Structure 1
Amino acid sequence: MIEQAVLTVREGAVVDLNLVRVFTTVYESRSLTAAARRLFVTQPAVSQALGRLRRQCDDALFERVGSGMQPTPLADTLYPEFRDAVSRIDRALGAVHGFDPATSERAFRIALSELGEIGWLAAIARVVGARAPRARLEVVPLDNDTVGDELARGAIDLAVTSAALDHGHRLVKRERYLVAMGRSHPLAAAALTVDDYRAARRVWVTSDSSARHLAAAHRRLGGVTAAVLSVQHFVSLPDVLMAGECIATIPETLARGWAENWPIAVHDAPFAVPDAELHLYRRPTTQHLGALDWFAATVGDVISATPGRFAAIHASR
């Protein structure tokens, strides 16, 4: 049934490109209302276009489940080909008309963690503002549990995270983990040994999406004492470390920046830890690809070239 319907679409009557665009937008947003908003048309217009395509495909394509639209098996089959077709056409038109950031009034949306905002937002805003002065930049909180769905639906254009997502991405940062502690800590004066590390009182940062690699390294090492303190954010660490009782294993940029400003000592980890990798993910949706290409390239270049302003995190001392 699915194969026969696909052949009907491919070899039967010519399918209006507008219908294909409506289909891909509904598929990505899972909502008629959201699709209408993204296409700048009314919801009845989306419903009518979807009805025409349903008749051509002889399939419901989407079924309402709760407040959303669930694609049928045929819709799942059609989407990759329809998406690629729309993308090719949009890129061809974009090559003719081009995207001009100097005149664009688009709103670009990016998901950043708290550290991402501290480290790179100022540089991103400066470059985007200089090249696209009429555009708007919107930053939303990064939630690694939902960011993949937000990208898939086109709710955000880009996301910067070390989490592994099934979306197009670019590696923008790679850095090793170092061990940080207050300079008054008993282990601050000399290189750490494995036994020192195993027995030390540690702080764990629950929001560190690369910490799964550190946890795996701890398991391989064996005998590592459980963390005595878990905090939600890296910004809590400077004061905790300067109190002199705990150590923390954190990305090098943070550790070096803090050591330059506060009485914090930094040591190499006495065991192997995979580097923390930060990726820039982009939405797979088909709208405004020229603008998306420009925004992704601009943000990726800025982050790659910016060391990060993490020393700007304030401590109470």
Structure 2
Amino acid sequence: MLGKFDLNLLKVFITVYRTKSITLAAEEMGLTQPGVSGLLKRLQEQVGSQLFVRSGRGIAPTQHAQELIRHVEPALIQINNGLESLSDFSIEMPRKFVIYTSEPVMTMLLPKIEADKSLGNISIELQPTYMREEDVLQGLNQQQADMAIEIANYSAKSFFSEELFEDNICVIARNGHPRIDKVISQEQYYQERHITLKLRRENAYMADYFTKENLFERHVAAECTSLVSQMSMVSNSDCIAVMTKSLAELFAKKLNIQVMPSPFTSIPIQYRIIAHKREQKSVANIWLRERLHSYTRDH
């Protein structure tokens, strides 16, 4: 059967399966809707089974499609990895890499990327990560980004991850605070007013999410959506805040703030690289991962 089979049809099948839409698959592949429909029809004729049925405004995979994707996708990933490992990659050739990540990581990485004189004609663009995990994975799947740097460890079978660096939470207060100087106790922590920040995806305060103990209610003066605005508000008030240590230390001198260990038992913040498995043996992706490791070795 393989001798008469058009393997290009499988790429169409995987794209339609992933997008659950002929229209979206056509847009992604640069084809017309009738063209995608015709290729899908050819595939169904060759395998002798219906692969999709109408469902609402889109389409849904049949049991045959689910069985086919289970066998086909890993095989195509291996083929892609093999071809990528043989392809040339040079920093002399213009290329842009896109990385999804959070504000603290962006703030830490950007100066190091700008200072890196070994990039040649390569550019690295940092984009804010999505609020929903599904959107992050979809963006990577559709090759809208080369990788993501996340604190989540996804278990999706089409993706791989590797540890990048570790951070911790800390408590900040302005220098010259009337009650706090270089160290803070649990009692003081609850007595002070707080500038809080919620992790959007986890819907929890950073202090609670990365602390082993169950924290009691605090006196909240303001709630921020940005770590930078959180630091700015602390530097101009007698409030305190919990945030990432690497970012706090980066701005401590500029904003005249003191950085203290948390008075509670902290859970390390583990940042990981997430990428699609088709990129695992890609020479270009390996190069990018090595650059990121070089930027974060001090953490």
TM-score (norm 2): 0.80
Asked if 1:250 corresponds to 2:237, the answer is: no
Give the structure with the higher percent helix. Answer: 1
Among 189, 194, 204, the residue aligned to 1:202: 194
Give the structure with the higher percent strand. Answer: 2
- Residue deviations 1:140-176, cap 9 Å, x none? 4311213233334444332222234334222212111
Cα deviation for residue 272 of structure 1 reads 0.4
In the aligned structure 2, how far is the partner of 1:139 from the partner of 1:256? 21
Aligned to 2:261: 268
Aligned to 2:228: 235
Other structure's SS at 2:42 match? helix
Instruction: Determine what percentage of the aligned residue pairs are the same residue.
Output: 23
- Residue deviations 1:232-280, cap 9 Å, x none? 1111022211123211111111121122323211111111010112122
Aligned to 1:149: 138
Other structure's SS at 2:119 match? helix
| Maintained 8 Å contact 1:201/1:227 | yes
In the aligned structure 2, how far is the partner of 1:258 from the partner of 1:60? 59
In the aligned structure 2, how far is the partner of 1:184 from the partner of 1:117? 30
| Structure 2 runs not aligned, ≥5 long | none
In the aligned structure 2, how far is the partner of 1:164 from the partner of 1:298? 22
| Maintained 8 Å contact 2:197/2:205 | no
Other structure's SS at 1:202 match? strand
Among 64, 74, 78, the residue aligned to 1:74: 64
Other structure's SS at 1:19 match? helix
Amino acid in the other structure paired with 2:89: D
Cα deviation for residue 41 of structure 1 reads 4.3
Q: Across the two proteins, how many residue pairs are aligned to each other? A: 291
In the aligned structure 2, how far is the partner of 1:62 from the partner of 1:103? 45
| Maintained 8 Å contact 2:99/2:146 | yes
In the aligned structure 1, how far is the partner of 2:207 from the partner of 2:33? 48
Asked if 1:281 corresponds to 2:274, the answer is: yes
Aligned to 1:16: 6
Cα deviation for residue 122 of structure 1 reads 4.9
Other structure's SS at 1:245 match? coil
| Maintained 8 Å contact 1:207/1:233 | no
**Structure 1 residues 127 and 45: CA distance shift in structure 2, 3 A:** farther
| Maintained 8 Å contact 1:123/1:302 | no
Aligned to 1:173: 165
Other structure's SS at 1:173 match? strand
In the aligned structure 2, how far is the partner of 1:241 from the partner of 1:218? 21
Amino acid in the other structure paired with 2:7: L
| Structure 1 runs not aligned, ≥5 long | 1-10, 309-317
Amino acid in the other structure paired with 1:278: Y
Q: Summarize the alignment of residues 125-144 of structure 1 with structure 2, pairs less than 5 Å apart.
A: 130-131=119-120, 133=121, 139-144=126-131
